[in-house]
Structure 1
Amino acid sequence: MIGSLVGAGLSAVGSIFGGISASKAMKKVKKNLQQQKQANQDWYDRRYNEDATQRADAQRILTKTEESIRNRNRQAAGAQAVMGGTEESVAAAKAANNQALADATSQIAVNAEARKDQIEQTYQQRDAQINDALNNLEIKKSEAISSAVQGVTQAGAGIAGAF
């Protein structure tokens, strides 16, 4: 009888200890997941709100376009001086060059929108994965509590049966 009491008592203690250990581990996992969720939000906020025209690739495109425009404007002015071209031809060349700059800027804006869409999709995918992990953690937590309660109940029944 004493052996069964001790066994039931140890079983209850084991269930309680197991439940406490599982709870601590789950709290640590939950904290890590919440940190990942915050890091994902920070990444999204930073990347989504970037000024596309200030990115290195966009700056490179704008710089090359502006450099090309300056060279073509100089060539048009030189040709006009040497060959006696009209002011209108120089103005037309400058207008075409300005249109090239506008087109480059427009393309940067289009690329920026596509990039934002990709950032948003990546963010939502990561957020959904983290939320699934948090939901699974809560399910495991409730299962661990249920298991611990069941173990204590069985141990209690064992002690009661010993009497």
Structure 2
Amino acid sequence: MIGSIIGAGVSAIGGIWGGAAKAKAMKRAKKNLEAQQKKNDAWYNRRYNEDTMQLAASQAAMRQAEESIRNRTRQSQGMAAVMGSTEEAQAVAREANAAALANTASNIAVAGQSRKDNVESTYLNRDAQVQQGLRDMEIGKANAIARATEGVSQAAVSLGNAIDGKK
């Protein structure tokens, strides 16, 4: 009988200690998920709000377009000096150069919007994973409490049976 009482007591203490340890581990895991969520938010805010025109690839594209325009302008001016050209031909060349630069800027803007869409999609996927992890954790916490309560109840029943002399 004393063995049953000790066993029930140890079982109850073990259940309580195990539940406390699990709660502590879940609290650490929750902090980790919340830290991940903050990192994700910071990443999103930084990447989504970047100025597309300031990115290295955009700067390189604009430099390349400007260099191409300068080269065409030099060629056009050289040909005009040698062969003679009308003011109309020079105006057409200037318009073509302006259109090329505008086209490059437009392409950069389109690529920037696509990049923003990708950043937003990545952010939403990561956020959904973190939220699912937090939901799973809350469900796990509820299940752990239920199991601990059940374990303590069973230990109490065992203790009561041992005191009454039942098996």
1:28-67 to 2 correspondences below 5 Å: 28-67=28-67
User: 2:93 and 2:119 mapped to 1: Cα distance?
Assistant: 39
SS at match of 2:50: coil
User: 1:57 and 1:91 mapped to 2: Cα distance?
Assistant: 30
User: 2:94 and 2:71 mapped to 1: Cα distance?
Assistant: 11
User: Over aligned residue pairs, what C-alpha RMSD do you find?
Assistant: 0.8
Equivalent AA in structure 2 for residue 137 of structure 1: M
Counterpart position of 1:7: 7
Counterpart position of 1:25: 25
Counterpart position of 2:116: 116
1:29 deviates by 0.6
Counterpart position of 1:76: 76
1:157 deviates by 1.4
Instruction: Determine if the alignment matches structure 1 residue 99 to structure 2 residue 104.
Output: no
User: 1:76 and 1:92 mapped to 2: Cα distance?
Assistant: 11
User: 2:98 and 2:106 mapped to 1: Cα distance?
Assistant: 12
Gap regions ≥5 residues in structure 1: none
1:79 deviates by 1.2
1:83 deviates by 1.1
Counterpart position of 1:142: 142
Counterpart position of 1:130: 130
1:158 deviates by 1.4
Structure 1, residues 61-118: CA drift from partner, whole Å, max 9, x if none? 1000000001111111111111111122112101101100000000110111111111
Equivalent AA in structure 2 for residue 92 of structure 1: V
User: 1:93 and 1:74 mapped to 2: Cα distance?
Assistant: 11
SS at match of 1:88: helix
User: 2:28 and 2:160 mapped to 1: Cα distance?
Assistant: 36
- What TM-score results when the alignment is normalised by the length of structure 2? 0.95
User: 1:79 and 1:91 mapped to 2: Cα distance?
Assistant: 14
Structure 1, residues 125-155: CA drift from partner, whole Å, max 9, x if none? 1111111111111111111111111111111
- What TM-score results when the alignment is normalised by the length of structure 1? 0.97
Gap regions ≥5 residues in structure 2: none
1:41 deviates by 0.8
Percent identity of equivalent pairs:
52
User: 2:86 and 2:76 mapped to 1: Cα distance?
Assistant: 10
SS at match of 1:132: helix
